[in-house]
Amino acid sequence: MSFRRGRRLGLDIGSVRIGVAASDPDGILATPLTVVRRTDEPAALKTLREIIDEYEPIELLIGDPKSLDGSARAAAATALEFAKRISAATATPIRLVDERFTTVEAHHALAAAGKNSRQRREIVDAQAAVIILQNALEYEHNTGQPAGRAMPDEESEQ
pLDDT per residue as tens digits for the range 76-128: 778 788 889 999 999 899 999 887 555 556 556 666 666 666 655 666 788 88
pLDDT tens for each residue of 7-51: 999 999 988 889 999 999 999 999 999 999 999 999 999 999 999
The whole-number pLDDT of residue 104 equals 53
The whole-number pLDDT of residue 14 equals 85
Angle at 65 between CA 63 and CA 69, to 5 degrees: 130
The whole-number pLDDT of residue 155 equals 42
Amino acid at residue number 118: R
Taking the C-alpha atoms of residue 19 and residue 9, their distance in angstroms, rounded to an integer, is 10
pLDDT at 65 over 50: yes
Reported as a pLDDT band with limits 50, 70 and 90, residue 157 is very low
Q: What Å distances lie between residue 121 and 39, 64, 93, 125, CA to CA?
A: 16, 20, 29, 8
Give the range among 33-42, 58-67, 68-77 with minimum mean pLDDT.
68-77
The whole-number pLDDT of residue 122 equals 65
Q: How many CA atoms lie within 13 A of 104 on its CB side?
A: 4
Q: What is the pTM of this model?
A: 0.82
The whole-number pLDDT of residue 106 equals 58
- Residue 104 CB contacts under 8 Å (≥ 6 apart), including other chains: none
What are the backbone dihedrals phi and psi of residue 26, each rounded to the nearest 5 degrees, phi first?
-90, 0
Bridge partners, residue 37, by sequence: 17
| CATH code of the domain occupying 8-143 | 3.30.420.140
What ranges do the domains of the chain cover?
8-143
Bridge partners, residue 31, by sequence: 22
